Structure 1
Amino acid sequence: MDWDKLRIFHAVAEAGSFTHAGDVLNLSQSAVSRQISALEEVLQVPLFHRHARGLILTEQGETLNHTVREVFSKLEMTQTLLTESKEKAAGRLRVTTTTGFGSCWLMPRLHRFMTHNPDISITLILEDNDLDLGMREADVAVRMHAPRQPDLIQRHLADFPLSVFASPRYIEQFGQPTSLEDLSSHNLVAFGGYHPPVPHVNWLLEAGLPEGARRTARLEVNSMVAMADAISAGLGIGSVPGYAVAEYPDLIKVLPNVDSPKVEAFFVYPEELRSSKRVAVFRDFLTSELGLRS
């Protein structure tokens, strides 16, 4: 199989059309189509179902694309490691983390990292779903749970309590609960989405209730940042990590003596980047900002 044809095939598989792949590859639609037809002829199997709305991979195409994606991701990582400066950390680092941690904690501190590391460029990908580091969807991740992939290197960064907060406006209007049971008579702000950004994010809905019972939130929103905004606006009582409400120092911590769940933060990266200087300096930056020793 010709490498150039495989490169074109991969671009078409990712783009879903000859035209879009041609734009990425700077080739005409007809040139891309000819290369795919030639590859199908060599393999003697169809790689795409063609229809009016675009292209869909056949079963054989899915199998080939899975392998090609792995090969190109490994080549990209190898190129990165070979070109990285031996003298200093340099190059682009793709970092992924949750929208809440990225927006509320990491972004306000990122200028210090970039000031001290002028030769490193950052691509920050805020996504509450885990990206596949092994497939090079990102280089490193800050995750709010231990990594599930066995082939990733992890470092525990910090524990963030899921404290309970309310605004002065809310307390003035509705009063302050003195026990978990009191929460049943208050407006609650909860996470409402399919992919919770942190474990136990809605623990308040069951706290202090008999097993199997659950409160109904007055407001649900699928963003930790928006939850903090809603709590600050006086819409209800909610539980979020302290980093999510850092911009709202006037918030009141409710039920401060109650043991709340903790969010465990981990720095995660693939084995192939163990010797990367960019990864090392970013890890040291995180541990320094969190008050840890590297």
Structure 2
Amino acid sequence: MQWEGINEFVSVAETESFTQAAKAIQISTAQVSRQVSALEKRLKVKLFYRTTRKVSLTEEGRVFYQHCRSVLDGLDAAERALTNLQSTPQGKVRLTASVTYGEQQILPIINDFMLRYRDVEVTAYLSNQRVDLVEQGFDLAIRLGKLNDSSMMAKKLGTRTNYLCASPAYLDQYGVPHSLSELNKHSCLLGTLDYWHFSDAGKERNIRVNGRLRYNSGYGLVDAALKGLGIVQLPDYYVQQHIQSGALVTLLDNYRESDEGIWAVYPKNRHLSAKIRLLVDFLAEHLVDLY
């Protein structure tokens, strides 16, 4: 009886919303409200200030939250300890990643992981839109580049490199650019942005480029570059094999920006279970071997 409402209370405290808390723990908003109200009645104290726009902890609520969070963390630790005693990890994992990187890099590694650990169930949702892990109930996300969300914890899995490149046929016909300023004389194969990223004397630079072709498909851009339609800037997983074969030639290597991070991201207040930690370590190990 004394545990009733604790999970609901903690979820509301962390999301600052009854609706978001309900989504996070996958019950109805009405049930969350009833449980929190019953908890307040049982404790004989007001835990939240409620307005139509915002939910925030009272002073008593903050004190109670800190103790409840510690208790739940202890329960998580106890569960992890039991899981670690098992010979193999088991249970469900929900993760998200961007579409192309997920298809080409992440999902094949997860398939290998599931061949090794047959009691683990994985649901992967690939999207190029930023997914709210807490609201949509994901255990972790694989994200690329700079991280801006301070409410999340992150483990670095590896790095990726952006290459500027073109086919030998294109360069034979139009010449090789030797400076950033020369790019405006070339046919640039555009993605979703109007600029490319470079590093100039240690400083980041975004150079606006132009061209008669624009795709929101990395594979389409690679094909265009291979057929001599222009210069392209893309991550290594699109172009690495073509660079190694000589079908594409890297350009302006002295201006290449620093490698971007590949991250496993998870909510700050959620400890990684043994199965998720094992998956994260498995991804980090195998991403290193891709190239």
TM-score category (smaller protein): 0.5 to 0.7
Aligned 8 A contact 2:222 2:232 in 1: no
Helix, strand or coil at the partner of 2:207: coil
For residue 57 of structure 1, report the CA deviation from its aligned partner: 0.7
In structure 2, C-alpha distance between the alignment counterparts of 1:212 and 1:241, rounded to whole Å: 17
From the superposition, tell whether residues 269 and 213 of structure 1 become closer, same or farther in structure 2 (CA, over 3 Å).
closer
Matched, 1:217 2:209: yes
CA positional deviation for 1:139: 5.7
- Residue 44 of structure 1 is matched in structure 2 by 45
Is the contact made by 1:177 and 1:254 (CA closer than 8 Å) also made in structure 2?
A: no
- Check if 1:241 corresponds to 2:241: no
2:190 matched residue in structure 1: 189
Is the Cα–Cα contact under 8 Å of residues 91 and 121 in structure 1 kept in the other structure?
Answer: yes
3-state SS of the aligned residue for 1:203?
A: strand
Distance 1:167 1:183 in 2: 15
Asked if 1:179 is matched to 2:181, the reply is no
Structure 1 residue 88 displacement after superposition? 2.3
SS where residue 89 of structure 1 aligns?
A: coil
- Give the conservation status (yes or no) of the 8 Å contact 1:114–1:120: yes
Cα distance in 2 for residues equivalent to 1:262 and 1:81: 39
Contact 2:166 2:230 in 1 (8 A): yes
Q: Distance in 2 between matches of 1:213 and 1:258?
A: 13
What are the residue-to-residue correspondences of 1:1-294 with 2, within 5 Å?
2-10=2-10, 14=15, 16-17=18-19, 24-25=26-27, 29=30, 33-41=33-41, 42=43, 44-45=45-46, 47-51=48-52, 56-60=54-58, 63=62, 67=66, 68=68, 72=72, 75-76=75-76, 78-84=78-84, 86-93=86-93, 101-124=101-124, 138=139, 144=145, 158-166=158-166, 171=170, 175=174, 177-180=176-179, 181-186=181-186, 187=188, 189=190, 192=193, 202-204=196-198, 215-218=207-210, 226=216, 228-229=218-219, 231-232=221-222, 234=224, 237-245=231-239, 252-255=248-251, 258=254, 260-263=256-259, 265=261, 276=274, 279-280=277-278, 283-284=281-282, 286-288=284-286, 290-291=288-289
Does the Cα contact within 8 Å between 1:241 and 1:263 map onto a contact in 2? no
1:125–1:259 distance in 2 versus 1, CA, 3 Å = same
The code of the aligned residue for 2:288 comes to L
Identity %: 18
C-alpha displacement of 1:6: 2.3
Q: Aligned in 2, Cα 1:130/1:71: closer, same or farther, shift over 3 Å?
A: farther
- 3-state secondary structure, aligned to 1:178: coil
> Alpha carbons of 1:74 and 1:183: their partners in 2 closer, same or farther (altered >3 Å)?
farther
Residue 105 (structure 1) shift: 1.6
What do residues 235-257 of structure 1 show as CA deviations (whole Å, max 9, x unaligned)?
86332321144698897334175
Q: Tell me, which stretches of 5 or more residues in structure 1 are unaligned?
A: 194-200, 220-224
Taking the aligned partners of 2:223 and 2:78, their CA distance within structure 1 comes to 49
Separation of aligned partners in 2, 1:147 and 1:213:
19
In the alignment, the residues of structure 2 paired with residue 287 and residue 142 of structure 1 have an alpha-carbon distance, to the nearest angstrom, of: 17
CA offset digits 1:88-130 (Å, max 9, x no partner): 2333345566665434321244322222322222344668879
> Cα deviation per residue 1:152-195 (whole Å; 9 max; x = unaligned)?
8967x6553321134799x49x84543234212233536649xx
Residue in structure 2 matched with residue 196 of structure 1 by the alignment: none
* Amino acid corresponding to residue 178 of structure 2 in structure 1: S
Counterparts of 1:8 and 1:236, CA distance in 2:
56
Residues 165 and 253 of structure 1 are in contact (CA less than 8 Å); yes or no, is this contact kept in structure 2?
yes
C-alpha contact 2:184 2:210 (8 A) present in aligned 1: no
Unmatched runs of 5 consecutive residues or more in structure 2: none
Alpha-carbon distance in 2 for matches of 1:131, 1:19: 12
Distance 1:212 1:269 in 2: 25
